[in-house]
Structure 1
């Protein structure tokens, strides 16, 4: 029997999602709105513990609208973690603002709260406070929000939580997405749950939600003809995709548990190897284990990150390097960076292993065998 390809984080859908999708289709609530969209928003708001949720075409769209709600305009600055996916910084650039990149802490791989506090203090002294701060919940683990919120509140700067990877995670018992002015979720095909593509803005602020809904539907005014007093966007999620999301939410707990078991399996099977270190789990919260990531000390392990990725690829297994920091990306090379050593090290040493919630024991063993084969080659 030929083994099938193992993907990094593929969609995990069942007959539950199929039935809800077909029901929405048969009801003729196809797009752009409908009862499934309303129910999806209500359920996500309940899970996150906020009053409002606005389903959108992507997590990036949610970031864009959250930044608008924070008052970000052309020429402003926004503090952004360097160690993140490009969408976090791209949304800042959409508005003509400039990201100021900050390094991570090795204890959670999230933005360093001390760097955030120090940058706000320095900019306040110069009368140049940023318009907003974005924190990102990396690989399904929340940033350290107590000090982040304290620093932002001290200077009156709104915090936006990019929880695109973290639905179902918690920080001191509070759900990811519930911190700051607004939270952002993603339902891309590789996320913990998927709608095939989509995202959501979640917030306790009714005015933020109202503005997001207005702008996401081309900023059309509530009159019989098409009246527009501001520039809007075509950002709403369709009712059909929301139906898929409703089915995925029913299985969220099971999918998080499956990814946790995968993390534990890899850690037990590879943790004894010299030079292998897994992403640390911060004591302040519980992640959703979206991706299992490890760091490779090439000198101790006998080979570097790329050799492990090559060994995975040779066995038809998808692996990825950790995120390449934004301050190392050519498009953002002229932006200010504070620190950088931690996030650069995470990129050069980091490997993301297959972590999908439908992985079988056989799949996990194939991944383990591929990683361990590299050490055998070195010994041979």
Structure 2
């Protein structure tokens, strides 16, 4: 049996519900910014304890729109070096300058010290990323640092659907949160993104930006430098259907993660990124650090070829300050980011993962660890 790196789960009932929705949408001809978009927004806001939600074409667009609304053009935005290109890319697209910061090795997120070290007199915003769906226990301290300086905290919650800290959902700790619905996410709309916020002003601005900067959907009256960032009704219907299973999917993933935690505790040198106290993560990714000196490529190859266990790409194998596209924003060394990016792997976690698959992964990791790190 092969355990894939990722698996997208739509069961028979999901597929039937989506098919019914598509039939409805195609029969009405309302293909964008219609009732399914509003349903998806309302359901997502309710699920995450937010007053407002705005659906967009991607998580990257969601983050860029927040930053445009904040007004980062020509100013600095602090971004952790351990994140996907899009986090800093959105800063550039919004006209800002990404300032790349080191991270806390326990959470792969910004910490109070790394944030303070990255702040400048011209910092316009701070972006906190919830890697793998885990929310740092320093989230309130990070917010306090931002509040002291009058700087908005923005959450890149692309990984964090359904995650929470001390009962508060991801996306509700700062001014706004940006979520992604790329196909591998815990819930997906195929492609798409979502902003959640308590700010009615930001909600209204986001609606303008997503529709080519138009002041109204039916008017050719442009008031912002927006773009085509609308979510289609077809994507919104898929997202609405899939969102219904979020709690079920998260519980399955958490069950797998608990078994991984127990198994990896017996393997010397492997360091899982464990769930902080007070956090309830969705385990979009299960991240572990290999022992120093172990060749990651050989480790992954042995898992795949000898045990049928395939690992996804890391989150992430190259910190942003080593990405060629950000050469002009490199700054100095960021030792923690460099270390964790060089050693991390992501074990398979699926929303319908079976006990047999979990056993196979655990046994494979133990066997390869004995051979390469024992």
Number of residue pairs matched? 367
Counterparts of residues 1-380 of structure 1 (less than 5 Å): 3-4=1-2, 6-27=3-24, 28-29=27-28, 31-73=31-73, 75-120=74-119, 123=120, 128-143=121-136, 144-222=138-216, 226-298=220-292, 303-314=294-305, 315-319=307-311, 320-323=313-316, 324-337=318-331, 340-378=334-372
Assess if the C-alpha contact under 8 Å between 1:9 and 1:191 holds in 2: no
Deviations 1:75-99 (A, max 9, x none): 2111001111111011011123211
Deviation at 1:378, TM superposition (A): 4.6
Q: Distance in 1 between matches of 2:134 and 2:331?
A: 23
Question: SS state of the match for residue 105, structure 2?
Answer: coil
Deviation at 1:363, TM superposition (A): 1.9
Structure 1 window deviating more from structure 2 (134-143 vs 106-115): it is: 106-115
- Seen in structure 2, the aligned counterparts of structure 1 residues 36 and 16 have a Cα distance that, compared at 3 Å, is farther
Assess if the C-alpha contact under 8 Å between 2:264 and 2:272 holds in 1: no
Q: Distance in 1 between matches of 2:372 and 2:104?
A: 32
Deviations 1:168-222 (A, max 9, x none): 1112211101121111111111111111111101111111111111111112233
Deviations 1:94-118 (A, max 9, x none): 1232110111112222111222134
Deviation at 1:225, TM superposition (A): 5.3
Assess if the C-alpha contact under 8 Å between 2:98 and 2:329 holds in 1: yes
- Seen in structure 2, the aligned counterparts of structure 1 residues 259 and 93 have a Cα distance that, compared at 3 Å, is same
Relative to the length of structure 2, the TM-score reads 0.92
Assess if the C-alpha contact under 8 Å between 1:117 and 1:148 holds in 2: no
- Seen in structure 2, the aligned counterparts of structure 1 residues 311 and 219 have a Cα distance that, compared at 3 Å, is same
Assess if the C-alpha contact under 8 Å between 1:311 and 1:373 holds in 2: no
Deviation at 1:12, TM superposition (A): 1.2
Q: Distance in 2 between matches of 1:177 and 1:162?
A: 8
Deviations 1:98-157 (A, max 9, x none): 11011111222211122213443xx3xxxx221111010111011322111111111111
Q: Distance in 2 between matches of 1:192 and 1:298?
A: 31
Unaligned 5+ segments in structure 2 are none
Question: SS state of the match for residue 334, structure 1?
Answer: helix
Kindly report the root-mean-square deviation, in angstroms, between the aligned alpha carbons of the 2 structures. Answer: 2.0
Q: Distance in 1 between matches of 2:326 and 2:236?
A: 34
Unaligned 5+ segments in structure 1 are none
Relative to the length of structure 1, the TM-score reads 0.91
Assess if the C-alpha contact under 8 Å between 2:84 and 2:315 holds in 1: no
Structure 1 window deviating more from structure 2 (109-118 vs 21-30): it is: 21-30
Question: SS state of the match for residue 351, structure 1?
Answer: strand
Deviations 1:35-91 (A, max 9, x none): 222111111111211111001111001001010011111x21110011111110110
- Seen in structure 2, the aligned counterparts of structure 1 residues 293 and 108 have a Cα distance that, compared at 3 Å, is same
